[in-house]
Amino acid sequence: MGKAMEIVEEFMNIHISTNLGFTVVLFLVVYGSYFLATYLSCKRMVVEHQNKRWRNKEYAGKY
């Protein structure tokens, strides 16, 4: 693997390790943001559903 990286770096004049690090960071930022957005959205839906059920029980007891 190391020899392949040396050949590519020499041939294309790029540093794979730098690009790899940037790619990993970008991947973590994109999918971390997606995970956070999904988690918060689902959590909000669950809380709204629980509040709706609680309100329905509260009103059912008054009438």
Positive or negative torsion for Cα 52, 56, 62, 63: positive
Backbone φ and ψ of 15, nearest 5°: -105, 110
At residue 62, the pLDDT reads: 59
Asked whether residue 60 carries a pLDDT value surpassing 70, the answer given is: no
> What confidence tens digit (pLDDT) does each residue in 13-57 have?
767 677 788 889 999 999 999 999 999 999 999 999 988 888 877
Q: How confident is the model at residue 63 (pLDDT cuts 50, 70, 90)?
A: low
What is the C-alpha separation between 22 and 52, in angstroms, rounded? 45
At residue 58, the pLDDT reads: 67
At residue 2, the pLDDT reads: 75
CA 39 to chain centroid, in Å, comes to 9
